[in-house]
Structure 1
Amino acid sequence: MANRLIEVDSLMPGCWISVVDPTAQERKMLIDDYGLDSDFLKSSLDEEESSRVEQEENQTLIIVDTAVSEVQKDDTLIFYTMPLGIILTDHYVFTISLRENKVINDVVSGRVRNIQTQFRTQFVLRLMMNITASFLVYLKQIDKTSSAMQRKLHGAMKNHELIQMLELEKSLIYFSTSLKSNDVTMNKILRGRVVKLYEEDQDLLEDVLIELKQAQEMASIYSGILSGVVDAFGSVISNNLNIVMWRLTMVTIILAIPTMVYSFYGMNTLDLPFAEHTWFPTLLSLLLTAIVAFVLFKYKKK
């Protein structure tokens, strides 16, 4: 069936080989049996590798950053980027990553349409299109998470909301940096010096570049908004804490009044009025407490 991926038992020209977290033995097989450049393979499995394109003899390495989301143990949602290595040889396309990749899984499962691995350049461009689309999806998810955190802003006094917002802000910085790197890499491909481009690939490449620009603009806008929200978030938490401390101070002052009155009457002195009666210090305590409470609440409203 056309445009449908089929798993084959043995390699044939036009195949796509997906490699995820290969063992030492599998790495040796990729180098010895399939002739992959050892440096290209090492770069593809390096978490710190930045997006770039490089050519060596009959092989071309394209490293792009992909978006990843993860929920930590404290239920904090984080986003980060992970490099994906794409190695083009004369007859095959290899994708190599250190961990599972959502875009690759979507392609394997058939959720991505119009995939034809025999057209290697077109296949790479469609991968790039879906990688960029995943950035847009995660950016919208960041915006929704940010909006949900903002709704909790008014009554927030815990660290969880603030930590979540800081993680989102950090994620947007990662996304912006990765999108800029991917944009540079795609522009190098656009020149046609590294990867051979066919006429039908030009429109697809331009679509990828447009999506990249849109993702960069979204990341920049969200980053600016989130930065202001985080600052406001910290101020609100500080203000809420001050309100709580003020209430506790009021309660402490009000409760101190009866204690002071009974302390004076508990010293067994006869000079105090009605020292022999219990009702008077009780009445005096209630009266003074009411006056102090009234003054404090009136001051608070101001």
Structure 2
Amino acid sequence: MLQIFKSTDSGLITLDQVEDGAWINLVNPKEQEILYISNNLNIPVGLIKDALDEEERSRIEVDEGCTVIIIDIPVPNTNLPEGGTYYTVPLGIIINKTNIVTVSLKENYVIKSFIERKNKSFYTFKKTRFLLQILYKNSKLYLQYLRNIDRTSDKIECRLHKSLKNKELIQLLELEKSLVYFSTSLKSNEMVLEKIQRSTPVKMYPEDTELLEDVIIENKQAIEMANIYSNILTGTMDAYASVISNNLNIVMKFLTSVTIIMSLPTMVASFFGMNVDVPFQNNPHAFVIIFVMTMFFSVILAFTMVKKQLF
């Protein structure tokens, strides 16, 4: 998908052709769309395709008059019905003398928020400012998703108190995987941000420097939150694995106790069902006598097991 936007006095508008000062957004683009942008903006095809590799690492480089920044952005995992799990994909930001280009493999909320005009203070022709606003939005989105992960884990923990199955533990494992993705990606993004601050590959003004510092602070906060949640989740999984095992042991103990108590009437009935002479065989009240005696001993056995906390 190829989208071209430009800021005007009337707001953000959509264009059909590339113009100076325009923002070009590519989402899982076709080959002809990549070639179109490459030819019109003199951007090497390889730089555009780098951001379409899911395994591409976060980095920044200057090549043939283009500044390329690749960062990892969080994306919700829609394949799981429970929700609350995420992974990360690369987002490429390419800046040349006249335009800014964003390239991603999947639609994401970072870019979508600008397209939907939820960030009203950005202008496509202020390329450095726009770049930093994207980085800031990305850091804030990490923080938002980390809070979502924390809330989801709390809900799962509530169900784990009475659980005997592994479903909740598997869900916690998925959340832990999300935190690992986040932690790794945030650390890679931190290296990119520090390099931007250190080497200033793009022209920056004083207000841009302040915004970059805010981005770095937000990114560091996200790293700390990811580490804290990951440690808590790891401990929680270990604890609740023991809880599930203990719950299962309690159920098995109860069933075993019931089986022992029920075995007494069964054993007595087996004795009196033999084809030999047995007590009370000529007594008209034999069934009642045997039944009362059996229930008496069963109650005594049950009372004894309760006192010994075998129930």
Please identify, of 288-297 and 85-94, the stretch whose mean Cα deviation from structure 2 is larger: 288-297
- What's the secondary structure of 2:41's corresponding residue? coil
- 1:265–1:281: 8 Å Cα contact kept in structure 2? no
1:210 equivalent in structure 2: 217
- 2:257–2:310: 8 Å Cα contact kept in structure 1? no
1:232 equivalent in structure 2: 239
d(CA) in 2 for partners of 1:33, 1:114:
28
Counterpart of 1:295 in structure 2: which amino acid? T
2:5 equivalent in structure 1: none
Counterpart of 1:274 in structure 2: which amino acid? F
Match status 1:273 vs 2:279? yes
- 1:76–1:164: 8 Å Cα contact kept in structure 2? no
- What's the secondary structure of 1:7's corresponding residue? strand
- 1:4–1:114: 8 Å Cα contact kept in structure 2? no
- Cα deviation for residue 133 of structure 1 reads 0.4
Match status 1:289 vs 2:295? no
1:141 equivalent in structure 2: 148
1:29 equivalent in structure 2: 36
2:52 equivalent in structure 1: 45
- What's the secondary structure of 2:219's corresponding residue? helix
- 1:179–1:215: 8 Å Cα contact kept in structure 2? yes
Aligned-residue sequence identity (percent) comes to: 45
1:299 equivalent in structure 2: 308
Counterpart of 1:253 in structure 2: which amino acid? I
Structure 1 residue ranges (4+ consecutive) displaced by more than 6 angstroms after TM superposition: none
- Cα deviation for residue 88 of structure 1 reads 1.0
Counterpart of 2:268 in structure 1: which amino acid? V
The normalised TM-score by structure 1 is 0.94
1:189 equivalent in structure 2: 196
Provide, for residues 165-194 of structure 1, a one-character-per-residue CA deviation record: whole Å limited to 9, x for no partner: 111111111111111110100111112342
d(CA) in 2 for partners of 1:172, 1:137:
13
1:59 equivalent in structure 2: 66
d(CA) in 2 for partners of 1:25, 1:253:
76
Any unmatched runs of 5+ in structure 2? Answer: 1-7
The normalised TM-score by structure 2 is 0.91
d(CA) in 2 for partners of 1:231, 1:117:
49
2:182 equivalent in structure 1: 175
- Cα deviation for residue 30 of structure 1 reads 2.7
- Cα deviation for residue 257 of structure 1 reads 1.2
- 2:110–2:137: 8 Å Cα contact kept in structure 1? yes
Q: Which residue of the other structure, out of 1, 19, 25, is the alignment partner of 2:26?
A: 19
d(CA) in 1 for partners of 2:80, 2:217:
37
Counterpart of 2:196 in structure 1: which amino acid? I
d(CA) in 1 for partners of 2:263, 2:60:
73
Show the 5 A alignment for 1:45-124: 45-124=52-131
Any unmatched runs of 5+ in structure 1? Answer: none
Using a 3 Å threshold, how does the CA distance of structure 1 residues 30 and 11 change in structure 2: closer, same or farther?
closer
Please identify, of 55-64 and 159-168, the stretch whose mean Cα deviation from structure 2 is larger: 159-168
